[in-house]
Amino acid sequence: IKNQAKQAAQSAYRTKVLFDTNQLLQQAKDKNEIVSATSNQLIKLLRKDIVFYLADGEVLDTPHIFSVTEENLESCISENEKTVAGWVLKNNKRAGATTGTLSNAKCLYLAVRSSMVYGVVGIVMGEIPLDPFENSILLSILGECALALENEKNAREKQEAAILAKNEQLRANLLRAISHDLRTPLTSISGNASNLLSNGDSFDNDTKKQLCLKCRCTVNACSAFSARLLSPFVAGPCQLIRNSQF
């Protein structure tokens, strides 16, 4: 009876850990908070040290270490251990301690996966293997973690897409404004030049000079506008090259 009561209490505790994990992951604001919440809940469940690798494409990021003991865990992030974790990322299968694959590792490595692998969790096994119920709760927590990481990724990509769309709209508005601000003076220059070409013989020198001065003034205004527009991107102001006959 005592054993049954103990087992019931353990089952209730582990189930509560799983329930609390779901609540904590819903409150997490970014990847690091998701990793921290998941790892601390795994410590509560297993009372074992945890090494958590987030995946960056097909490679693993720097490991996050969460310790429940006073032991030095440097050996758990050695190159050999990282190789095993990398194998899990690539093959989407568990490996390491207590498995038939790369079993010389100190940690048991499992993929954090949903539609893709978002990371790899290493559990420092020691001498005590996981019992079936612990393993079941462990997989459920990792599934919740993967879902949280997937939601975080989707939200981040949606935000980046919104920022990109906003930037594109600003770009389009800027181009329209530039087009309008340049079209008017260029039309004026074109009209005065056409007038000189078509009717220049009938104009006196003062009229020709006035038309040329208008063209030059308008060109100077365009140059000043271009200089202000480009000043954030170039070292010096735009220099207008004037024709000596003007």
Higher-confidence residue of 133 and 9: namely 133
Query: Which pLDDT tens digit goes with each residue over 69-79?
Result: 777 788 899 99
**Which amino acid is residue 182, in one-letter code?**
L
**Which amino acid is residue 66, in one-letter code?**
F
| pLDDT attached to residue 107 | 95
pLDDT of 7 > 70? The answer is yes
Phi then psi for residue 208, to 5 deg, are -60, -45
Query: Which pLDDT tens digit goes with each residue over 75-111?
Result: 899 999 999 999 999 999 999 999 999 999 999 999 9
- CA-based nearest residue to 107, from 122, 93, 92, 95: 122
- Comparing 2-11, 54-63, 111-120, 237-246, the range with the smallest average pLDDT is 237-246
- CA-based nearest residue to 42, from 117, 123, 162: 123
| pLDDT attached to residue 25 | 94
- Give the span between the Cα atoms of 29 and 31, in whole angstroms: 7
Residue 101, C-beta contacts closer than 8 angstroms, at least 6 positions apart: 87, 93, 94, 95
- Give the span between the Cα atoms of 84 and 78, in whole angstroms: 10
| pLDDT attached to residue 241 | 47
| pLDDT attached to residue 44 | 93
Task: State the CB neighbour count (10 A cutoff) for residue 110.
Answer: 22
Report, as an integer, the average pLDDT of 38-43: 95
Residue keyed to tokens 């506008």:
225
Give start and end residues of each alpha helix (H) in the chain. 2-27, 31-46, 79-91, 132-199, 205-230
| pLDDT attached to residue 246 | 39
